Amino acid sequence: MKPREILPGVAYVGAPDFDRRLFDALIPLPDGTSYNAYLVRGRDKTVLVDAVEPAKLGVLEDYLADVPRIDLVVSNHTEQDHSGGLPWLLQRYPGALVLASEPAKPMLADHLGLDPARIRAVADGERLDLGGKTLRFVYTPWVHWPETMSTYLEEDGVLFSCDFFGAHIAQTDLFVDGADCIMAEAKRYYAEIMMPFRKIVQKNLDKIKDLDIRMIAPSHGPIHRDPASIIAAYRDWSDDRPHNNVVIAWATMHGSTALMVERLIAGLVERGVTVHPFNMASADIGQLAMTLVDAATIVVAAPTVHVGPHPAVYNAVVLANALRPKARFASILGSYGWAGRLVELVKAAMPNLKVELLPPVVAKGLPKPADLAAVDALAEAIAAKHKEAGLF
């Protein structure tokens, strides 16, 4: 296949992966993903921006079959789904050098065994003239590894952003077609990958705000020809202010916890609060992560297994703790058989969440009228906190 031109002198040479269903043995990929790479040809130099996942190297090889010379390969990010093709590229093009950020240089040697002599570190803001096309390297750290950078093609206003602004979706069309459908995919991706670095995302958005960006070409998912939309979405997602939403991660064994969850949902809805409940026995953790992006309150509702929280719900707590959402409040519901350390263990599992803990409600066996009244009081407390915070 010939490189697919997206602009004069700029072509797509990446690979959709329609069949992949899991990333990092953790993240569900309901729509597959893609590993994008781009060929930029100036009068004097030809550059490849990002390589691909090793499993899809054959696609890149095919695209490059009639490309006799590549002078430089920009590695915006060391993770193997973008750098896995580098060892092959350096063999295929013995004169080529890899360009990467300063912190990436040792990482490329560590992760891929690249010869350091074939890697040149570029400085933040450094420009490279290819002959009629100029690349500018912009360090955008922690989106989502410490070494990540973006590459800006000045004449065409293209930002090659790698994971930043990406989405796990496989499709044959190269461009975003309809912002609405890509935003859900992009939000899911942001939630899973970028959310723990929300504050640094804000800084990186500030850093690129004065660039004349006319196109964002990420290394997962389609290319944005309306960059303002995805940049505005990132502003909202990374902003400190949550929405008037509650996420409930719950499970039930004999129905007692379910009764409390149903009561809480009803109480919150009555008070004008949006609720996203996830039964962790079958929930898609990507969907859970996505709703955590905006939630003001997280409620964990679990029966005890022996004396600890049900493991499916406990996993959700561990995930939320790792993703560090912007939520301001949390609470715990549950039911136990004979004894329980539910509250103590859930609290201990979420040290990264900077939340005010609203009074937990834990019932012995079936929730009694007093327990259900306490659930109603919790709904009232959550709604009041949301109001006080100006969320509605």
Nearest to 389 by CA among 274, 244, 178: 244
C-alpha distances (whole Å) from 357 to each of 330, 343, 381 are: 5, 11, 11
Q: Are strands 33-35 and 274-279 parallel, antiparallel or unpaired?
A: unpaired
Residues 163-182 that bind ligand FEO (CB under 6 A): 163
Residues found in the chain: 392
**The binder of ligand FEO chosen from 17, 31, 50, 81 (CB under 6 A):** 81
Q: Is 324 left (phi over 0), alpha (psi -120 to 50) or beta?
A: left
Residues 124-153 that bind ligand FEO (CB under 6 A): 144
Interface with ligand FEO, residue 56, by CB under 6 A: no
| Closest CB 109 distance from ligand FEO, rounded Å | 18
Q: What span, in angstroms and rounded, lies between the C-alpha atoms of 206 and 208?
A: 6
Of the pair 144, 386, the CB lying nearest ligand FEO is at 144
Of the pair 148, 335, the CB lying nearest ligand FEO is at 148
| Closest CB 273 distance from ligand FEO, rounded Å | 35
Residues 201-260 that bind ligand FEO (CB under 6 A): 220
Residues facing 214 on adjacent strands: none
Interface with ligand FEO, residue 310, by CB under 6 A: no
Interface with ligand FEO, residue 20, by CB under 6 A: no
**The binder of ligand FEO chosen from 20, 41, 56, 82 (CB under 6 A):** 82
Of the pair 70, 167, the CB lying nearest ligand FEO is at 167
Interface with ligand FEO, residue 192, by CB under 6 A: no
Interface with ligand FEO, residue 77, by CB under 6 A: yes
Cβ atoms of 141 and 147 within 8 Å: the answer is yes
Neighbour tally for 373: CB within 10 Å: 13
**Which DSSP helix (H) or strand (E) runs through 278?**
strand 274-279
Stretch that binds ligand FEO, among 76-84, 90-98, 169-177, 303-311 (CB under 6 A): 76-84
Interface with ligand FEO, residue 185, by CB under 6 A: no
Nearest to 21 by CA among 312, 276, 284: 284
Of the pair 220, 310, the CB lying nearest ligand FEO is at 220
Q: What span, in angstroms and rounded, lies between the C-alpha atoms of 21 and 33?
A: 9
C-alpha distances (whole Å) from 60 to each of 23, 67, 88, 284, 391 are: 20, 11, 10, 32, 48
| Closest CB 220 distance from ligand FEO, rounded Å | 6
| Closest CB 143 distance from ligand FEO, rounded Å | 9
CA 169, 175, 178, 179 torsion: positive or negative? positive
Of the pair 104, 273, the CB lying nearest ligand FEO is at 104
| Closest CB 163 distance from ligand FEO, rounded Å | 4
Contacts with ligand FEO: how many residues (CB under 6 A)?
7
Binding site for ligand FEO (CB under 6 A): 77, 79, 81-82, 144, 163, 220
